[in-house]
Amino acid sequence: MGREKEKQNPSEKALNLLRTRLSNPNFIFKPLSDSPDSNYSKLKFIISSSVTEACNNSILLLGPRGSGKVAVLELVLGDLLQQYPEVISVIRLNGLLHSDDNCALKEIAQQLCVEHQLLFSKVASFDDNSQFMIAMLRECGLAHKTIIFVLNEFDYFAQGKQRLLYSLLDAMQSVTSQAVVIGVSCRLDVDQLLEKRVRSRFSHRKLLFLPPSKEDTERFMEHILSLPVDSSLPHNYTVEFNARLKKILSDERFKELINTYLSFNSTIGHLVRFLFQAVSYLDLDVGFLSLENFKTALSSMQRQPKLECIRDCSILELYLLVCMKRLEVKEQNSYNFNSVMTEYKSIHDSFQTSDYYARNVCLRAFEHLLQHQLISFADNRGHNQSVEFRPVKLLISLAELHQGLKSYRLCPMFYLDLIKIGFWILPLVQACKLHKIPAFDSFLVCYVNYYCCGASFLPLKMVKVAFSRQLS
Partner 1 sequence: MPAIADRNSSPFKEMVATRSGDIARFNGCCTPQKRSLRSNAAAAKESPVSTPMKLKSPRRRLNSNPNSPANGIKGDFNEKPMKKNWNPKDFEQMRAVKEALHVSTAPSTVVCRQYEQKRVLEFCKVCVAQEKAGSLYVCGCPGTGKSLSMEKVKQQVIEWATMEGLQSPEVLAMNCTSLANTSDIFSKILGKHQPKKKLTGSTSPSQHLQNLYSSKQSLSGSKMMLIIADELDYLITKDRAVLHDLFMLTTFPFSKCILLGIANSIDLADRFLPRLQSLNCKPMVVTFRAYSKDQILSILQERLSVLPYIVFQQQALELCARKVAAASGDMRKALCVCRSAAEIHEAELRECASNLSLTSVEGEFISQQTAPALEIFQSQENNTVRIDHMALALSKAFRSPIVDTIQSLPQHQQIILCSAVKFFRGGKKDTTVGELNKSYIDICKSSLIPPVGILEFLSILRVLNDQGLFKLGQSRDDKSKRVTLKVDEADISFALQGVRFFRNCLQ
Q: Which is nearer to partner 1, 48 or 346 (CB)?
A: 48
Tell me the CA distances in angstroms from 7 to 10, 11, 13, 84, one per residue in order.
6, 7, 11, 47
Is residue 196 part of the contact set for partner 1 (CB under 8 A)?
yes
Q: Alpha-carbon distance 443 to 463, whole Å?
A: 13
Three-state SS letters, 209-249: CCCCCHHHHHHHHHHHHCCCCCCCCCHHHHHHHHHHHHHHH
Is residue 52 part of the contact set for partner 1 (CB under 8 A)?
yes
**H helix or E strand, kind and range, residue 148:** strand 146-152
Number of residues interacting with partner 1: please give it, by CB under 8 A.
Answer: 63
How many Cβ atoms sit within 10 Å of the Cβ of residue 45? Answer: 12
Is residue 103 part of the contact set for partner 1 (CB under 8 A)?
no
Q: How would you classify the pairing of strands 375-377 and 391-394?
A: antiparallel
In the bound complex, what is the minimum distance in angstroms from residue 334's beta carbon to partner 1?
A: 16
151 DSSP β-pair partners: 93, 183
DSSP state at residue 62: E
Is residue 89 part of the contact set for partner 1 (CB under 8 A)?
no
In the bound complex, what is the minimum distance in angstroms from residue 239's beta carbon to partner 1?
A: 32
Is residue 264 part of the contact set for partner 1 (CB under 8 A)?
yes
Is residue 159 part of the contact set for partner 1 (CB under 8 A)?
no
Is residue 436 part of the contact set for partner 1 (CB under 8 A)?
no
Q: Considering only 48-56, 111-119, 244-252, 272-280, which stretch makes contact with partner 1 by CB under 8 A?
A: 48-56
Q: Measured in Å, how far apart are the chain's first and last C-alpha atoms?
A: 76
Is residue 262 part of the contact set for partner 1 (CB under 8 A)?
yes
Q: Considering only 166-174, 234-242, 284-292, 363-371, which stretch makes contact with partner 1 by CB under 8 A?
A: 166-174
Is residue 424 part of the contact set for partner 1 (CB under 8 A)?
no
Is residue 302 part of the contact set for partner 1 (CB under 8 A)?
yes
Is residue 144 part of the contact set for partner 1 (CB under 8 A)?
yes
Nearest to 66 by CA among 223, 151, 184, 216: 184
Per-residue binding letters, 325-354, with partner 1 (x by CB under 8 A): ------------------------------
In the bound complex, what is the minimum distance in angstroms from residue 172's beta carbon to partner 1?
A: 7
Q: Alpha-carbon distance 272 to 217, whole Å?
A: 11
Is residue 64 part of the contact set for partner 1 (CB under 8 A)?
yes
Q: Which of 62, 71, 369, 394 binds partner 1 (CB under 8 A)?
A: 62
Q: Considering only 172-180, 284-292, 404-412, 413-421, which stretch makes contact with partner 1 by CB under 8 A?
A: 172-180
Whether 178 contacts 47, CB under 8 Å: no
Q: Alpha-carbon distance 215 to 429, whole Å?
A: 44
Is residue 203 part of the contact set for partner 1 (CB under 8 A)?
yes
Q: Which ranges of 281-376 does DSSP label H, i.e. alpha helix? A: 291-301, 305-312, 315-329, 337-351, 359-371
Dihedral angle of Cα 261, 266, 267, 270, to the nearest 10 degrees: -10
Q: Which of 204, 246, 345, 435 binds partner 1 (CB under 8 A)?
A: 204
Q: Which of 8, 16, 35, 200 binds partner 1 (CB under 8 A)?
A: 200
Q: Which of 16, 26, 121, 174 binds partner 1 (CB under 8 A)?
A: 174
Q: What is the three-class DSSP state of 184? A: strand
Whether 61 contacts 40, CB under 8 Å: no
List residues binding partner 1 (CB under 8 A): 36, 41, 44-45, 48-49, 52-56, 62, 64-65, 79, 83-84, 87, 125-127, 130, 142, 144, 161, 163, 166-167, 170, 172-175, 186-190, 196-197, 199-201, 203-206, 208, 210-211, 262-266, 302, 304-306, 397, 399-400, 427
